[in-house]
Amino acid sequence: MAELPNCQTLLLEQVEGVLYVSLNRPESRNAMSLAMVEELRAVLAAVRSDRGVRALVLRGTDGHFCAGGDIKDMAGARAKGGDAYRDLNRAFGRLLEEAQEAPQVLVAVLEGAVLGGGFGLACVSDIAIAHQNAKFGLPETSLGILPAQIAPFVAKRIGLTQARRLALTAARFDGADALRLGLVHFCEGDDQALVDRLAECLQQVRQCAPDANAATKALLLATETEHLAGLLDRAAGQFAEAVLGSEGVEGTMAFVQKRKPKWAE
């Protein structure tokens, strides 16, 4: 089991192969400070090679996911000039990259405010579950700034046409609209339904072999950047390795013997 970092802005709990990561700055609706960004990056780095962690569940405390960037951090950077703003902004972009590329399944549970940086985190999740009353939006342009690190992930998630509309109007919308946009996979009407949907998704994740999941996620992400023929050549080699590897052998034997594979027990 990986050793997790000590965190001041996050609550961490590991249960049955799932690491629950709760953004914990309720006084600011879990606004994303630089400290929180660095702690999230440290958690992702700590579990990256730990296949005992099958899924990461990211959510917020006190009824909110994340209200965006911390205005106090931005105000503090003002005295340091443009370099400080650039470094602060880019650090969040690195977090989004690392979260998207995490080998574990990343599940976002979205309640309350899902704004700015919180919207960006939703866009890099593998599974997104929203409460119908959640409030989504990209408020940056209404503040005279731009969603610099978030924009590429939003466009990939919901398409350029919708991303342009939302970013250029700062429009707010609820969980039902997020489902229609394809931003989230599920929209639930109450707290218990949200809990039940999360449990169902995690049970489904546990049916899948951890190394196979990690390789499959990387393969899917690579479809956006790699030439098709080269990607298929590489994937064929990975398939052969998987068939002959421990998970492939165990999965095949479990199927023949009509039992669950070890990773699903």
Q: Are strands 18-23 and 10-15 parallel, antiparallel or unpaired?
A: antiparallel
* Residue among 123, 129, 119, 125 nearest 102 (CA): 125
Total-model pTM? 0.95
- Cβ atoms of 45 and 56 closer than 8 Å: no
- The domain made up of 10-206 has a fold known as 2-enoyl-CoA Hydratase; Chain A, domain 1 (3.90.226)
What percent of the chain is predicted at pLDDT more than 70?
A: 97
Name every residue whose Cβ is closer than 8 Å to that of residue 40 and which is 6 or more positions away in sequence.
Answer: 10, 21, 95, 99
Per-residue model confidence as pLDDT tens digits over 101-128: 999 999 999 999 999 999 999 999 999 9
3-state per-residue secondary structure call for 117-175: HHHHHHHCCCEEEEECCCEEECCHHHHCCCCCCCHHHHHHHHCHHHHHHHHHHCCEECH
* Residue pair 119/158 in contact by the 8 Å Cβ criterion: no
* Cβ-contact 126, 105 below 8 angstroms: yes
- Per-residue pLDDT of 190-248, as tens digits, reads 999 999 999 999 999 999 999 999 999 999 999 999 999 999 999 999 999 999 999 99
| Sign of the torsion angle spanned by Cα atoms 187, 47, 65, 123 | negative
Query: What is the rounded CA–CA span in Å between residue 175 and residue 190?
Result: 11
Order of strands, edge to edge, in the sheet holding 127-131?
Answer: 10-15, 18-23, 55-60, 105-110, 127-131, 186-188
List the domain boundaries for the chain: 10-206, 209-257
Q: Specify the pLDDT at position 81.
A: 65
In this predicted model, which residue has the larger pLDDT, 33 or 77?
33
At 129 the pLDDT is 98
Task: Measure Cα distances from 15 to 12, 19, 20, 52, 147 in Å.
Answer: 10, 7, 8, 10, 35
DSSP 221-249: HHTTTS-HHHHHHHHHHHHHHHHHSHHHH
